[in-house]
Copies of this chain bind each other. A is one copy, B any other.
Amino acid sequence: MILTVTLNTALDITYRVPALRPDASHRVTEVTERPGGKGVNVARVLAALGHEVTVTGFTGGLTGRLLRERLTGIPGLTDALLPVSGTTRRTTAVVDERSGTTTQLNEPGPVVSPAEWHAFQEVYEDLLKGVSAVALCGSLPPGVPVGAYAGLIRTARAAKVPVLLDTSGAPLRRGIAGRPDIVKPNAEELAELTGSHEPLTATQDARRRGAGAVVASLGPQGLLAVTPQGRWRAAPPARLRGNPTGAGDSLVAGLLSGLVTNLPWPDRLVRAVALSAATVMAPVAGEFDRRAYEELLGRVVITGEVSAA
């Protein structure tokens, strides 16, 4: 069982419009809704790969009810979300059909009370008892202390559960001090954390700040991993065309899947890149193309060196 934590779950709405023009009125031609928030997305990919996965975090209001309804019926996925008095946020992606660009509008999320945050930490500690890895994903809703992830990481470490952190800004900066086993920043998050725009320098710096391993996602360039076992670059065999929505979440799912099946680091990275690339190539945003994934597994380009023991 893998556990994913999404403190700020979301109902992800996608609107297609012929062309988005500020200050104009638009008739939306297509509306799709799916349960979201990074940890929920990671869980859905893990479940599709055949893993048993539990999602926890907060959900509330009618939006939260809609989200939970959409989670039921996903084989292998267990809903352990906690109800809160506020309402789960909506995130709206407005896809401009002419240009192919996406404009994102994200609500801030419900205010979580101190009592709700306290209750979550108890549930989380219980859930850790039966899991082989935990991923802490995404932004913090209002009311949750900025150092929340550092605390959750320490609890996981005390329970001897390997922990992956995927967040940004202050929650990443504070969380990394809790010594997570893996962090997965993208280039922008890494630069914000370390002040360096040079990926290798920044990745090494992030590791010094407390992470066991740093896997930096560099968009079309694939990823750069600096780990206790060595450092590697892994990239898809060719430039991809498609929608990058959810590619980072699939990358996290690949890393977790490789971790719980005890793959060596290079194989974990190949799995992560193949899943991420297959997500970009899928027709539906955030899903992955299974045939592309299986084919890409043999074609990911990996280079690197193993550390001296």
Chain A positions within 8 Å of B, measured between CB atoms, are 15, 17, 20-29, 31, 62, 65-66, 92, 94, 96, 99, 101-108
Contact = CB atoms under 8 A, between A and B. Distances in A.
Contacts of A107: 15, 28, 31
A106 B62 contact: no
Closest 7 CB pairs of A and B: A23-B101, A25-B104, A62-B62, A28-B107, A22-B103, A20-B22, A26-B105
Contacts of A25: 103-104, 106
A285 to B, nearest CB: 14
13 contacts: A15-B105, A20-B22, A22-B96, A22-B99, A22-B103, A25-B104, A26-B103, A26-B106, A28-B105, A31-B107, A31-B108, A62-B66, A92-B105
A105 B62 contact: no
Looking at A21, A28, A66, A108, which has the most chain B CB atoms within 10 Å of its CB?
A28
Contact of A28 (B20, B99, B106): B106
A88 to B, nearest CB: 12
Given A22-B99, A31-B107, 14 more contacts: A15-B107, A20-B22, A22-B22, A22-B101, A22-B103, A24-B103, A25-B103, A27-B106, A28-B105, A28-B107, A28-B108, A31-B108, A62-B62, A92-B92
A103 B23 contact: yes
A136 to B, nearest CB: 20
Contacts of A104: 24-26
A29 B25 CA distance: 21
Contact of A102 (B15, B20, B23, B28): B23
A178 B9 CA distance: 50
Nearest to A19: B22
Contacts of A103: 20-26
Nearest to A25: B104
A108 to B, nearest CB: 7
Looking at A25, A29, A101, which has the most chain B CB atoms within 10 Å of its CB?
A25
A60 to B, nearest CB: 13
Contacts of A15: 105, 107
Contacts of A62: 62, 65-66
A90 to B, nearest CB: 8
A57 B23 CA distance: 29
Nearest to A15: B105
Contacts of A24: 103-104
A22 B15 CA distance: 13
Contacts of A28: 105-108
Contacts of A23: 96, 99, 101-103
Looking at A27, A29, A65, A103, which has the most chain B CB atoms within 10 Å of its CB?
A103
A29 B26 CA distance: 22
Nearest to A27: B106
Contact of A17 (B21, B26, B105): B105
Looking at A15, A99, A105, which has the most chain B CB atoms within 10 Å of its CB?
A105
